[in-house]
Amino acid sequence: MPHTPEQTSEAPYQPAVGDLVWDAASKRVGQVMDHRWSRYQLRPPGGGTEWHAAPENVSPTQARQAPCPQCRRIKAERYEAERTGDRKAAAHAATEMGLHQRAAHS
């Protein structure tokens, strides 16, 4: 007879804020930003628009791969823009990262 969640001794997966998780419903990786109202708030690891995920759809990610060269370049540009206070360049880099993530890593 299959086990129901109430019959298993394992506690349900409860990621902490900052953890990277897999959202099976949206089929993408997200970083946990918050957990409220029985939902997790997730956002893409490189930044972007947040979305909500039900706890039953959230699971740990596989071992994290090294970022691709383009991700590293965009991230370096964003950090440099933030360090120097160039808000326009930082916003551009964040947008570029989101577009790159969707095109290359989805």
Predicted confidence band of residue 41 (pLDDT cuts 50, 70, 90): very high
Number of H helices, E strands in the chain: 2, 5
Rounded-to-integer distance, Cα 16 and Cα 37, Å: 15
- What global pTM score does this model have? 0.52
Position 5 scores a pLDDT of: 53
pLDDT in tens, 14-40: 999 988 899 999 989 999 999 988 899
In the chain, domain spans: 1-61, 69-105
- Looking at domain 1-61, its CATH class is mainly beta
Query: What mean pLDDT is predicted for residues 64-75?
Result: 80
Q: Kindly report, residue by residue over 46-60, the tens digit of the pLDDT.
A: 788 999 999 999 999
